[in-house]
Structure 1
Amino acid sequence: MSDITVVIPSYNSIATIEAAVESALSQTIPVNIIVVDDGSKDETVTKVQQLVNQNANLTLIVQPQNRGPSAARNRAISEVKSGWIAILDADDYMYPDRLRKMLDVGVNEQLDIVADDLVRVPAIPQPASGTRLWADQPIGLVRMDAGMFALENLNARTGSRRELGYLKPIIRTEFLTANAISYNEDMRLSEDYDIYMRCLLAGARFGLIDPCGYFSVDYPNSLSKEFASADLRRVLDRDREYLTHSGLTAEARQSISRHKMQAYKHWSWMHLIERVRERDLVGALATFAAPPEIGATLVTRIVRHALGKEPVPQSVEREAKVQPIEKILAAS
């Protein structure tokens, strides 16, 4: 029995799934691997089945229809028998010794969640350099609570796409089971942020460490996906739910409230765009029935749009420092 199971949701991942699976198979400790194909239309299932035929510790589950990454992860987690679960996206990959290092920290520090600061790399073979997600300098072990986690998911603080919701940690299986926590299957946006926040609110001991070798691949046009206002509204609704938690500290309440306002701004802008596209004047005007800060943001963005300028920046632009991969991994 391995101590850890790698969960890989997959959808139309023929170009990347083999590299992801091979990186899990190459770990320096025994692992189980569960790939859940979420209704792919390409040859992903065929490719993974070939790998399953060659590796007894690899399992393939095929969803009959596409239900999103949260449902795929939940399906895999329902089959996990090991003490820990590792999350890996089908278009990313891991360094061979990553899970051993993280598991050592989790056991020695008695943590429920261990996340390493991931490394963003370009979509080229064997990249020589990359950027850290969160911190450009070594951090050692940072113990995370709900307030700090919400704070470090604010665009205005972290910079564009440097929020901690992108992390792919290992999670103690017993903690998820004991607290009946799973991925919210109605979310296709910020579902990682949501489950980590709910774990923290349930008392999870969460440690963030220096990079151990999770490589998040930046593909062309990966920033161009436009989410519907309904997806953004679910993020806003989750923040509202967190604020009802009875055990919130003043710091956590303030940080979550700020994240809620960020989500509110994102939702209101997309909702306004959708109403205008549908020529729904009443619905568009109703969007302004919001707190003054939201209305002011909408007006400013409308003016800038009318002037042909870029939309109002929703984040500071704190550029990540490009460093050699060897230097980034040396911190751990």
Structure 2
Amino acid sequence: MKQDIPDVSFIIAAYNAAATLGKAIDSALAQRGVTVEVIVADDCSADETKAIAESYADRNVRLIALARNGGPSAARNAAISAATGRWLAVLDSDDTVDPDRLRRMISRAEKAGAEIAVDNLRVIRADGTPAETMFAEDALARMPTLTLAAFIRSNALFQTTHNFGYLKPIFQRAFIESHALRFDESLKIGEDYLYLASAMALGGRCVFEPLAGYDYNIREGSISRVLSLHHIDAMIEGDKAFLRNHTLDVEAAAAQEFRAKSLLRGRAFLVLVQNIKDRSILGTIRTAWGTPSAVGHLSMPIAARANRVIASLRKLIGPQADLTAIDGTTRSRKG
């Protein structure tokens, strides 16, 4: 007898996730109104991650053990290739989802004839502060679809506004397979962004579900809290590959130009900070002169550190130096 095709394949990339994996799997299996399979791709964990996944074998949870550590993209790709569900839902191994999340999202997508759906998120911090919803529900309700241009523009680096790059989409598997779309395994940052951007560039229509159904846990030590020059360089190279593979309409191209400029400003800022830390006056002046906005017009998670090194530079070159402090905060994206 042929096994029924599940409505949803949950894709969980796991690496040393023993402390949180069980909760993630339980939340996936608790979905109401849809049938579910869970695929855990273990990326050569050194803890009990594999054993935890194997303990769910009788509940339609499959374990794929990667032969070598390849990072989250490689793990997700392995799971996607093994998936059988009508929809693919990526779930981070330290996050959870509401019981009605997939029912709501699939219903909204199918009514609209969309290949992609995203919903709101609840942000949960490790310090125990009250959870908050990332986006205002009424704002998302007025924005029934997410366009490629809006998505790209929201992903400009170090902006103060909320970023659609944090969204956790679900994808119609037939659409993904028809385009052989996979995560870029060469990227260690920004791969989620490029995957969704590529799906929309290929013609995938994305609808919003305003309710928050995904619990997004922020942990210390994520890539965005320690953003380095090589991360920005990787994002710039990823964007170049994206542009080689896809043709953008006028609005999306303008948004891409806006994002590209933000990456260059962000790069200049990190170079500026390093010059200040190295007490390189010539390097600092050269970077600030070449990209003035790097000094005072970026809002980023390393602002406190930047202000400290700017204070050091004031001491170095004199108390009357007119150097503007960097203000603002951004949410942390896990890496």
In structure 2, the residue matched to 1:147 is: 149
Matched with 2:11 is 7
Whole-angstrom CA distance in 1 between matches of 2:283 and 2:136? 41
Q: How many residues align?
A: 305
Q: Percent of aligned positions with the same letter in both sequences?
A: 26
Deviation at 1:240, TM superposition (A): 3.5
Structure 1 residue runs of 5 or longer lacking an equivalent are 320-332
Output the CA distance in 2 between the equivalents of 1:186 and 1:311. Answer: 35
Distance 1:74 1:242, change over 3 A: closer
Cα distance in 2 between the residues matched to 1:219 and 1:99? 25
Query: 1:3·1:31 contact (CA, 8 Å) conserved in 2?
Result: yes
Q: Which deviations, in whole Å up to 9, do the C-alpha atoms of 1:203-228 show, x marking residues without a partner?
A: 11011221241101123454774244
Cα RMSD over matched residues? 3.3
For 2:292 and 2:234, locate their aligned partners in 1 and report how far apart those are by CA, in whole Å.
22
2:42 counterpart residue number: 37
Distance 2:75 2:176 in 1: 16
Deviations 1:21-76 (A, max 9, x none): 00011111210100011111222112222222x42x10011123321111110010
With 103-112 and 147-156 compared, the bigger mean Cα shift is at 147-156
The counterpart of 1:97, out of the listed 95, 100, 107, is 100
The corresponding residue for 2:313 is 306
Structure 1 letter corresponding to 2:148: A
Distance 1:228 1:4 in 2: 36
Tell me, in whole angstroms, the C-alpha distance in 2 between the residues paired with 1:199 and 1:38. 25
Alpha carbons 1:121, 1:217 under 8 Å: kept: yes
Distance 2:239 2:232 in 1: 11
Contact 1:264 1:294 in 2 (8 A): no
Supply the AA of the counterpart residue of 1:134. F
**Aligned-partner SS, 1:185:** coil
Query: 1:304, 1:310 within 8 Å by CA — same for their partners in 2?
Result: no
Matched-pair contact (CA < 8 Å) for 2:104–2:209? no
* 1:216 aligned residue: 216
Matched with 1:172 is 172
Query: Structure 1 residues 105, 267: CA separation in 2 closer, same or farther (over 3 Å shift)?
Result: same
| Residue 16 (structure 1) shift | 0.6
Q: Which runs of 5+ in 2 are unaligned?
A: 297-305, 316-322
**Deviations 1:284-312 (Å, cap 9, x if unpaired)?**
969968xx886324566675562489973
Taking structure 1 as reference, are residues 307 and 92 closer, same or farther at Cα in structure 2, changes over 3 Å only? farther
C-alpha change, 1:45 and 1:293, in structure 2 (3 Å) is: farther
> Structure 1 residues 244, 186: closer, same or farther in 2, change over 3 A?
closer
TM-score (normalizing by structure 1) = 0.79
Closer, same or farther in 2 for the Cα pair 1:21/1:307, shift >3 Å? farther
User: Partner residue of 1:65?
Assistant: 68
Q: CA deviation at 1:271?
A: 5.3
Mapped partners of 1:208, 1:112: distance in 2: 12
User: Counterpart in 2 of 1:27?
Assistant: 31
AA aligned to 1:3 is D
Please tell me the residue identity of whatever aligns with 2:44: G
User: Highest Rg: 1 or 2?
Assistant: 2
Q: Give the superposition deviation at 1:258.
A: 1.3
Partner Cα separation in structure 1 for residue 194 and residue 236 of structure 2: 11
Q: Distance in 2 between matches of 1:137 and 1:258?
A: 27
Gap change, CA 1:77 and 1:223, over 3 Å in 2: closer
User: Are residues 210 and 136 of structure 1, via their aligned partners in 2, closer, same or farther at CA, if it must alter by over 3 Å?
Assistant: closer
Rate the CA distance shift 1:62–1:131 in 2: closer, same or farther, 3 A: same
1:196 partner SS? helix
- CA–CA separation in structure 1 for the residues paired with 2:61 and 2:254: 44
Residues 312 and 106 of structure 1, relative CA distance in 2, 3 Å threshold: same
1:251 Cα deviation from its structure 2 partner = 2.1
The equivalent of 1:137 in structure 2 is 138
Q: Distance in 1 between matches of 2:102 and 2:145?
A: 19
- Contact 2:157–2:263 at 8 Å: present in 1 too? no
Letter in 1 for 2:136: A
Offset of residue 186 of structure 1: 0.9
- Aligned residue in 1 for 2:292: 296
